[in-house]
Chain A
């Protein structure tokens, strides 16, 4: 029987409730409402930091004191009693110096309670129950009635958590025998959990301090979802730990947190953070509580308490403070930090077993070789076009776009003239590509203006509603976007004359019957020309010259006269080279003709 599969009994259940209560108290009072109460009490940022610093110092001291004295269930109960008292008083002591006293008492109580629980838990239950308790604690805090409570209300709820915990703490102190445990040494646990807590705290701080992020990740509609994710994943973590996943679990938690941390940096991806963040947090939080008792390699309450004291001092308080500090300074979680945290977590996973020193050595050799050969990259080119070509390459544009118009094929009529294979092969690297999720880009500079290209990069679906292309707006946060636009424009502009000749030769076949001109206009034209064709579409302000008013003109390119229908059809199909008017090369002839009829209708 695995350790976590202990039969459900009163002691195990009470242990899970105690874990849930301590987590609940910490999350809803110490992490949330106490800070809000300080602010409502008029505390400055310095005072706030001082109070939180005192809480951390008291927490560390309380933890070590408990380890030194030897933790007992009675000690944990007393600590939770103090916690209940301080959080009950907190709404009445939000101003200094009372708040400092609350901070100190809360910190000390939390220090004792967390160290005590972690060290005593193996005497009470299997490790799976720690996961259940962790999940319950997180889930309760995400219930809308709790999460959206006033700060004073949350403080009293926190007191309630502490009282429940006090009542739930079992009296037993004898550890049951545990075998076949995978051990993560102290140094490894400190490094690994510090990295995870750091990452968690930074992502949490960024989300919490940005209104749109907060509403996008744990706004009201998402609270029940978050509660469920927390509960399920923490339970999964418990059973996973029970089945021997001590070393692999933190790695998975890092992956989830890394996705969340990177996702909060992008506007379009913040929704992902709402799923990945609670999942990652739940996984490692369960492991954090379980490590001292189950996976630190000790056998007994006292040494486990020392391990817990070190773990919560370094990973818990230090890691959390630094994660928040980094987020305050940088306003984001840099990808290099995410990668660094991953290196720490995975490094510990590998190195924590001494038998793997050879693997660690070869991995280190490989990493060092890579690090010392990083400088072989040639310097950034001086021309925007060359830099843009590099962006094209590094963004992997070749995986969706070809740069090869097949000679003698229908490609030429749509994407412009073919180039000789010898010319194409001169490129280093060759950018032929092998798959077209989108158009061939050989001659795109002749078919699209720079303004159009930029608008399309910012939000492709504004111009092509069913486009599979994601937004590349982030490229315009620095110079990459402009360089890419310049590259695409300049590399194809030489084909303008050929395209115009092709346009002059083209004649649509059939009629527009069967196609809905109005619908097509809405999909392909209204973004620039406006729904009524008056040139005031939502994207028109991006363009240097306003789009044509299709109702009143002036009609420079399609003035009344001979072959007006054909000329308009050609403009729709191939655009007007040299202007912002793009072609619609992939439209069928009947669609072009239906659009032409609809556009002409504006004039009447």
Chain B
């Protein structure tokens, strides 16, 4: 079975990419508007207040810009675009965007669960559930249609993935409920070190999977029998040319197909997976114990992230990554290192006590989203589509703007942490910081518009 006639061979993935970039533009616009509101509160639009735009900004970045590349990844892994249901792949992406748009409508209407990043309630919550169910059925239909041609291990892994994905709607309903709340560090009112470890381990897992499902093992031992994989520069696609003339295997293997040969690679370096498992056990134990950032076991839990600063780039170096991915890969690892190291520093007693509730933690959120997550998503999009994500200038401008914003907010947070008087006693410095923040946001918005424009005809 090949792609349905009349639509592009990667309609689902490219649709998800365009939607993701569209949401990035929208999220950045909302962020810039929020930055402007802090400078000029009179710009507030009647009922669409600052407090209602904040969840729009946060959730659009998370469920639009960050999640849709992952949706694209799923579509690629399950080969939806080459299945009998390929025409439904863009429809599933549209359903996702519709749910997010309804979310925006609800958040601007003041309908909120009050749970940051899990802000789904009422009609918006059920709209997202519907979108998740639609996506699941599309993936399941593609699995049913395509898995006969996969080896047994891949078929079972994909089935396990489907079973896991089937649990997502229920878990989202549970976690977004106002009745549930994660463990709290009673000295700060914020998350515990173990909670931070747990959420970071999810990211570590994705970073471990990324090269295995989307890049090529460097030593070539696991290459497919049908022929060598090569980067197709002239076609502008990321994939591997093989010798056969059969359509499924002759043209461009999408990167996910390269994952078929990467699973044996797990056996070669078990240490990384053992440590990954141990980290999860540490998370479970310390989460059950609870505690504060003054407790050794909570700081110790956070320390389990430190080896990943070195280990993930090291692990990635075992793979051949497609051309055009280098800048985003380097950026991703650099931001990741900065994220972990600064996170550890901020978690220390005395530091967290000073930075909690200040711009310093806002800076760290932007480090996570604008720095690391954007680099991860951009790398993923490069791997999935085989096209570069932005020219050198736009990539550099993005990172410089993000860094300027992060440094500025960190400095402001440090000053503010000395006492709330800083906010009112230093209006000039505060406003200067907010101006830098707004300018950085403006640059990032311009860059995201450029990226969207570049992908318009993908």
Residues of A within 8 A of B (CB): 259, 262-263, 265-266, 268-269, 272, 335, 339, 350, 355-356, 358-363, 365-367, 369-374, 376-377, 393-400, 402, 404, 406-410, 414, 421, 424-425, 428-437, 439-440, 460-461, 464, 466-472, 474, 585-588, 591
Which residue of the partner chain, among B41, B94, B129, B184, contacts A362 with CB atoms under 8 Å? B94
- Is there contact, CB below 8 Å, between A269 and B105? no
For B423, the closest partner residue in chain A by CB is A586
Q: A269-B43, A414-B420 are in contact. Are A362 and B92 (CB under 8 A)?
A: yes
Query: Pick the contact of B47 from A335, A355, A373, A377 — CB < 8 Å?
Result: A335
In the complex, how many angstroms separate the beta carbon of B190 from the nearest chain A beta carbon?
7
Q: List, in ascending order, chain A residues with CB within 8 A of B99's CB.
A: 366, 370
B279 interfacial by beta-carbon distance below 8 Å: no
Q: In the bound complex, do residue B105 and residue A339 qualify as a contact, i.e. CB atoms below 8 Å apart?
A: yes
Other A-B pairs beyond A366-B134, A404-B189, A424-B184, 16, CB < 8 Å: A266-B46, A268-B44, A269-B45, A359-B90, A359-B91, A363-B98, A366-B95, A370-B123, A393-B114, A396-B110, A428-B178, A431-B114, A434-B116, A435-B359, A436-B357, A461-B41
Interface residues of B (CB under 8 A from A): 6-7, 37-39, 41-55, 87-88, 90-95, 98-99, 102, 105, 109-116, 122-127, 129-131, 134, 178-179, 181, 184, 186-190, 353, 356-359, 361-362, 419-421, 423-425, 427, 430
CB distance from B446 to the nearest CB of A (A): 16
16 contacts between A and B (CB under 8 A): A262-B48, A263-B46, A359-B90, A366-B95, A366-B131, A369-B127, A395-B52, A397-B51, A398-B114, A399-B51, A429-B178, A429-B181, A433-B357, A435-B359, A460-B41, A586-B423
* Cβ–Cβ contact B48 & A393, under 8 A: no
Interface on chain B toward A: helix, strand, loop, or mixed SS?
Answer: helix
Nearest Cβ distance between residue A492 and chain B, in whole angstroms?
Answer: 16
Do A394 and B116 touch (CB < 8 A)?
no
Docked pose: A361 CA to B91 CA in angstroms = 8
Residue contact A470 to B44, C-beta cutoff 8 Å: yes
Q: Provided the pairs A362-B94, A421-B184, A430-B181 are in contact, do residues A371 and B49 lie with their beta carbons within 8 angstroms?
A: no
Q: A402 to B44, Cβ gap below 8 A? A: no
With both chains docked as a complex, state the minimum distance between the C-beta of B290 and any C-beta of chain A, in angstroms.
Answer: 10
Q: Which residues of A contact B427 (CB under 8 A)?
A: 466
How near does chain B come to A18, taking the closest CB pair, in angstroms?
Answer: 32
Are the CB atoms of A400 and B50 closer together than 8 Å? Answer: yes
**Is A394 a contact of B111 with CB atoms below 8 Å?**
yes
Q: Are A428 and B45 in contact (CB under 8 A)?
A: no
Q: Which residues of A contact B54 (CB under 8 A)?
A: 396, 399
The answer to whether A408 touches B187, judged by C-beta atoms less than 8 angstroms apart, is yes
Given A366-B102, A396-B112, the answer on whether A377 and B122 have CB atoms closer than 8 Å is yes
Q: How far is the CA of A263 from the CA of B44 in the complex (A)?
A: 9
User: What's the Cα separation between A436 and B417 when bound, in Å?
Assistant: 11
Which residue of chain B has the shortest Cβ distance to A460 in the bound complex?
B41
Q: Are A395 and B110 touching (Cβ within 8 A)?
A: yes
Q: Across the two chains, which residue of chain A brings its CB closest to B103?
A: A370
Max chain B Cβ within 10 angstroms of own Cβ: one of A399, A400, A433, A436? A399
Which residue on chain A has the smallest CB distance to residue B138? A362
Give the top 9 A-B pairs by smallest Cβ distance, nearest first: A396-B51, A394-B110, A429-B114, A404-B189, A429-B178, A370-B123, A470-B41, A266-B46, A358-B91
CB contacts (< 8 Å) of A398 on chain B: these are 51, 114, 116
Q: Give the chain A neighbours of B179 by CB distance below 8 A.
A: 428
Known contacts A374-B123, A396-B54; A470 and B114 CB within 8 A of each other: no
Instruction: Tell me the complex Cα distance, A26–B423, Å.
Output: 53
Q: Which residue of B lies closest to A404 (CB)?
A: B189
How many whole Å from B449's CB to the nearest CB in chain A?
Answer: 12
Residues A269 and B95 in contact, CB atoms below 8 Å apart: no
- In the assembled complex, the Cα of A420 lies from the Cα of B441 at a distance in Å of 38
Chain A contacts for B130, CB-based, 8 A: 365-366, 369-370
- Cross-chain contact of A355 among B7, B46, B126 (Cβ < 8 A): B7
Q: Which residue of B is nearest A468, CB measured?
A: B38
Give the residues in chain B near A437, CB-CB below 8 Å.
38
Q: Known contacts A359-B94, A428-B178, A588-B425: does B42 contact A470 (CB below 8 Å)? A: yes
Instruction: Find out whether the CB atom of B112 lies under 8 angstroms from the CB atom of A394.
Output: yes
B133 → chain A, closest Cβ, in Å?
Answer: 9
- The reply to whether B102 and A262 contact each other, CB–CB distance below 8 Å, is no
- Shortest distance between the CB of A155 and any CB in chain B (Å): 37
- Chain A minimum-CB-distance residue to B135: A362
Per the bound structure, the CA–CA distance linking A408 and B350 in Å amounts to 12
Distance A103 CA – B179 CA, assembled complex (angstroms): 65
Residue of B nearest to A368 (CB): B130
Contact B98 A471 (CB under 8 A): no
Given contacts A362-B95, A406-B356, A424-B189, is CB(A370)–CB(B49) below 8 Å?
no
- A358 (CB) vs chain B CBs: closest residue: B91
Q: Which residues of B contact A461 (CB under 8 A)?
A: 41
Q: Please give the distance in Å from B30's CB to the nearest CB on chain A.
A: 12
CB distance from A450 to the nearest CB of B (A): 21
Give the CA-CA distance A397 to B49 in the complex, in Å.
Answer: 10
Minimum CB–CB distance from B310 to chain A (whole Å) comes to 30
Q: Which of B38, B45, B93 contacts A263 (CB 8 A)?
A: B45
Residue of B48, B95, B361 touching A435 (CB-CB under 8 A): B361
CB distance from B34 to the nearest CB of A (A): 9
Contact residue among A377, A425, A464 (Cβ-Cβ distance under 8 Å from B424): A464
Q: A362-B95, A406-B356, A468-B38 are in contact. Are A396 and B127 (CB under 8 A)?
A: no
> CA–CA, A367 to B123, complex, Å?
9
CA distance in complex: A182, B263 (Å): 45
Q: Which residue of A lies closest to B49 (CB)?
A: A395
Interchain CA distance A406-B188 in the complex, whole Å: 6
Known: A406-B188, A424-B189, A428-B178. A367 touches B41 (CB 8 A): no
- Judge whether B187 and A407 touch: CB under 8 Å: yes
Q: Is the CB–CB distance between B45 and A272 below 8 Å?
A: yes
Give the contacting residue for A262; candidates B45, B127, B131, B425; CB below 8 A.
Answer: B45
Question: Are A409 and B122 in touch, CB under 8 angstroms?
Answer: no
The reply to whether B358 and A436 form a contact with Cβ atoms under 8 Å apart is: yes
A34, B96: Cα distance in complex, Å: 50
Bound Cα distance A362, B54 (Å) = 28
Query: Separation in Å of the A397 CB from the closest CB of chain B?
Result: 6
Chain A residues closer than 8 Å to B190, beta-carbon distance: 432, 434
